[in-house]
């Protein structure tokens, strides 16, 4: 017997909530492209130049005004996402937004501004969100990822915080005890983040990079351990950046 589906049989949710369960990179790419194009067509039904209706052209990759013939293409907003490590490379700077599920910490990120290079953006966003100065010479590209929520391209970097010069007596004490105790002080911008902290490699590996733990979904309900700390799931570039840094010495 064939059953006719009704609205009661269908559960709708953000694509982001299913990213961690995508069976392959190809499936994820198809869903990302579809989500981005649907957003584009919904928001460009009329010409920004003369106000006339637009029509889909070039197999849906663009729209054209019926009146003035202006063509418009899908916009992509580049953003940087960066794993910033401490000068000793034993700690990573992770932050969280108030709207995220309890316990979620991730790499810092931000959108490129007009006239900036990607490296400029890494330096500016890290400083704005956490007060941490980045050693520009340490910045290196790691990977990129389409992030169609609604139309971003995430460009991933790894970088190192600038070294500080503590007073002589602190340097002497630091050398005699533990070189990792002196970390650049964090000054969180509350308009950007709820919190930001330095987390050690050992802590992240033991509490964050656990098989089946963590999620990229915004409606994720963490268990007791994850409510204390977890990182984004495997669908996110943030997880890749964190994992590569934690495992780089192994």
Strands 108-111 and 91-96 turn out to be: unpaired
What is the average pLDDT score of the chain?
88
Residue 7 has pLDDT above 80, yes or no: no
Identify any residues that bridge with 56 across adjacent strands, giving them in sequence order. 63
Global pTM value: 0.83
E-strand ranges in the chain read: 54-57, 62-65, 71-73, 77-85, 91-96, 108-111, 134-147, 152-161, 195-200
- What value, to the nearest 5°, has the Cα angle with vertex 8 and ends 7 and 9? 90
pLDDT digits (tens, 9 = 90+) for 200-214: 999 999 998 887 788
For residues 39 and 61, give the distance between their C-alpha atoms in angstroms, rounded to a whole number: 12
pLDDT computed for residue 175 by the predictor:
38
pLDDT in the model for residue 3: 65
* pLDDT tens column, 42-59: 999 999 999 999 999 999
Q: What is the pLDDT of residues 118-141, one digit of tens each?
A: 999 999 999 999 999 999 999 999
pLDDT at residue 225 tops 70: yes
Residue 13: predicted pLDDT: 66
54-57 and 62-65: which strand pairing? antiparallel
């Amino acid at each position: 017997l064939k059953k006719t589906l009704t609205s009661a049989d269908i559960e709708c949710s953000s694509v982001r909530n299913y990213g961690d369960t995508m069976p392959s990179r190809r499936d994820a790419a198809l869903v990302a492209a579809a989500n981005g194009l649907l957003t584009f067509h919904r928001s460009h039904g009329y010409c920004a130049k003369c106000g006339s209706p637009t029509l889909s052209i070039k197999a849906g990759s663009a729209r054209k005004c019926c009146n003035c013939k202006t063509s418009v293409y899908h916009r992509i907003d580049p953003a940087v996402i960066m794993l910033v490590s401490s000068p000793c490379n034993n700690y990573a700077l992770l932050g969280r937004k108030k709207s995220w599920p309890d316990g979620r910490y991730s790499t810092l990120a931000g959108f490129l501004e007009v006239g900036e290079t990607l490296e400029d953006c890494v330096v500016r966003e890290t400083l704005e969100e956490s007060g941490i100065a980045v050693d520009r010479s340490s910045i290196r590209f790691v990977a990129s990822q389409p992030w169609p929520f609604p139309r971003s391209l995430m460009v991933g970097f790894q970088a190192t915080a600038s070294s500080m010069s503590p007073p002589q007596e602190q340097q002497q004490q630091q050398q005699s005890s533990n070189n990792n105790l002196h970390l650049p002080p964090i000054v969180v911008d509350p308009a950007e983040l709820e919190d930001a902290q330095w987390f050690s490699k050992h802590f992240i590996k033991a509490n964050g990079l656990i098989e089946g733990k963590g999620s990229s979904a915004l409606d994720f309900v963490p268990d007791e351990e994850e409510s204390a700390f977890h990182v984004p799931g495997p669908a996110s570039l943030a997880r890749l950046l964190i994992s590569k840094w934690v495992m780089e010495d192994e």
